[in-house]
Amino acid sequence: MIKQVLEDADTRPVTDKAVKLWLKKLQDVTYDADNVLDVINYENLSRQIQNQRSPKVCLYFSFYRPLAFRWKMAHKIKEINVNFEDINKRANDLGLRKVADFALSLPPVMETDSITVDPIYLGRQNDESEILKLMINTNGAVISVLPIVGMGGLGKTTLARSVFNHPTTRSLFDERIWVCISKNFDVTTIFKRILEDTSDVDNREAIVKKLGKCLEHLSVTGCNKLVSFPIDLGELPCISILDIRRCRELRSLPKGIGRLSKLTYLAIGGFSELIDFNSFQAALDGIQHCKSLRRLSLHGREHWDSLPYQFQHLPSLQRFGLYDFGIEALPEWFGGLSSLFSLHLRNLKKIRHMPSKEAMQRLTKLEILGVHESPLLEERCREERGSDSERSKISHIPYIDGLGQRGYMLI
């Protein structure tokens, strides 16, 4: 009877104070009943052991101690039954109804997907290699199941996701399907989930894949609680505009930027101080092959004294904004950005030099230059004279902003 009422109590809002007190009372009485059962079990076990050790004392235990023990336990059980009856009466007063033949409520299945990025992946490389070897070197055997066994939190899903997305796995199978299975293993349910993944039914994996096929513009800015990027951007091949800036707690950079072949605009930087230059540069690996990139806004750190090498290989780049770096000069490879139309430099406190005059003159399409909050370079450009001065390097640019000259910025 109490069990039937509990299902209705579970649906009541947690703010219902009377129901909360009723549940607390029920919990206390349940603990009492559990304790009584423990004592009875202990007494029975103790009696069995005592009889085995000293059979001569059996007569004593058979009459005196069991009688007193039974009387004591009977009194406690009667008291517990009275409490349960009182709890049942209180349930009626609260209007808790009896729900007959209710099904046991199971916790919802925590769905996973194959695209989420795991920010911390340590100590599983050997396991990953072993699984890949089993998949490759089958020796003619047909492998249908490779179980990964372990208690919760050890990284089974992380390991499975890493194998699923490994280049070797991609090359072995024409079609890969990620299916999340609940603890209640049911073959029919599994087959249904596989069909959902290959159709338009919206489970989590299908939703993420569908999102990846249509998402073109992704902006993540000012998210100060974001610590790691949850998805592999390489799985979103249609993205053309990507803006990830001013996420001050972001410690794990997004993966897959270099695989965005349709990217036309990229703004990135302003992350946690725990991210060093090498990590920042590594996250951009592959971007040098993106021939569609036209606009770039790059935010660094004042102690970073160099720029990511990948951007010297982008002759199609038209607009370049450079912010917050600690470089002392723009590198010579800037002269190879033959399509550059506008260049904006801001908050480069240590910069003193533009590229060489020869490199600057190769930028025949450069029409707009902005220099702001970069005092050393601004001073040299205003005051220096001569054929190889900083001023002479930029004299051919039609519109200059930030050096005491009137102009405008389009970047």
Q: Tokens 């002392």 belong to which residue? A: 328
Taking 50 as the pLDDT cut, the residues of the chain under it are 14-15, 57, 59-64, 101-104, 106, 405-411
- What is the rounded CA–CA span in Å between residue 24 and residue 58? 43
Tokens linked to 15: 């703010």
Ordered DSSP codes for 18-86: HHHHHHHHHHHHHHHHHHHHHHHHHHHHHHHHHHHH-GGGHHHHHHHHHHHHHHHHHHHHHHHHHHHHH
For the stretch 202-253, pLDDT in tens is 566 666 666 666 678 888 888 888 888 777 888 888 889 999 998 888 888 8
The half-sphere exposure of 145 on its side-chain side, counting CA atoms within 13 A, is 3
CATH 3.30.420, applies to 294-411: no
Residue 270: CB atoms within 10 Å:
18
The pLDDT of residue 191: 59
How far is it, in rounded angstroms, from Cα 109 to Cα 390? 64
How far is it, in rounded angstroms, from Cα 11 to Cα 166? 44
Looking only at the bridges linking them, the beta strands covering 399-401 and 319-323 are unpaired
Q: What is the largest CA-CA distance in the chain?
A: 119
Report d(CA 155, CA 96) in Å as an integer: 43
Give pLDDT, residue 360. 93
| pLDDT at site 228 | 84
The first and second tokens of residue 110, run together, are: 């925590």
**What strands, in cross-sheet order, belong to the sheet with 399-401?**
217-221, 241-245, 265-269, 295-299, 319-323, 342-346, 368-372, 399-401
Q: Which secondary structure element, helix H or strand E, spans residue 217, and what is its range?
A: strand 217-221
Q: Which 8-state DSSP code applies to residue 174?
A: S
Backbone angles phi, psi at 154, to 5 degrees: -80, -15
Please state, in angstroms and rounded to a whole number, the distance separating the CA atoms of residues 49 and 108. 46
Angle separating helix axes 204-214 and 187-197, nearest 10 degrees: 10
Task: Judge whether 231 and 116 are in contact, CB under 8 Å.
Answer: yes
- Answer whether 171's CB lies under 8 Å from 152's CB: no
Structure tokens at 273: 């101080």
CB 157 within 8 A of CB 117: no
pTM across the whole model: 0.54
Where do we find the tokens 């925590």?
110
Is 206 in contact with 197 (CB distance < 8 Å)? yes
Task: Check: CB of residue 193 under 8 Å from CB of residue 109.
Answer: no
Query: Is residue 349 within 8 Å of 302, Cβ to Cβ?
Result: yes
pLDDT at 334: 94
DSSP per residue over 11-37, as a string?
HS-TT-HHHHHHHHHHHHHHHHHHHHH
* Domain definitions of the chain by residue range: 2-93, 215-290, 294-411
- CA 385/CA 392 separation, integer angstroms: 7
Write phi, then psi, for 70 (nearest 5 degrees). -65, -40
